[in-house]
């Protein structure tokens, strides 16, 4: 495996409601709307078409972020993504 092709991306505005689905997949999420699932799917498809690993900085968050990575204003976290 060539580790030189891996890149790390940091988003400081990932919606709190999306963290679980980004980590475990939208198939495991029972309480999201179809619109929210679509937002997550588009985010993944546009940014990480070949997959990713992620880590959440639980200490770095905004209680109310007017400009989350996707969706409506909400609480957001800083998340580090590493493409596969």
- N-term to C-term CA, the chain: 10
What is the full per-residue pLDDT of the chain (84 aa) written as tens digits? 455 678 999 999 999 999 999 999 998 888 999 999 999 999 999 999 999 999 999 999 999 999 999 999 999 999 999 999
pLDDT of residue 58: 98
pLDDT value at residue 4 = 61
Whole-prediction pTM? 0.90
Number of folded domains that form the chain: 1
Range of the domain at 40: 3-83
Give the β-pairing of 52-65 and 8-15.
Answer: unpaired
Minimal CA–CA distance to 69: which of 60, 59, 79? 79
Sign of the C-alpha dihedral computed for residues 15, 20, 22 and 28 taken in this order: negative
């Amino acid at each position: 495996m060539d580790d030189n092709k891996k890149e790390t991306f940091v988003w400081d505005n990932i919606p709190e409601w999306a963290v679980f689905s980004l980590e475990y997949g939208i198939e495991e999420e029972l309480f999201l709307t179809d619109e929210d699932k679509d937002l997550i799917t588009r985010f993944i498809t546009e940014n990480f078409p070949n997959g990713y690993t992620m880590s959440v900085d639980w200490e770095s968050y905004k209680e109310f972020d007017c400009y989350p990575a996707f969706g409506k204003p909400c609480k957001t976290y800083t998340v580090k993504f590493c493409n596969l």
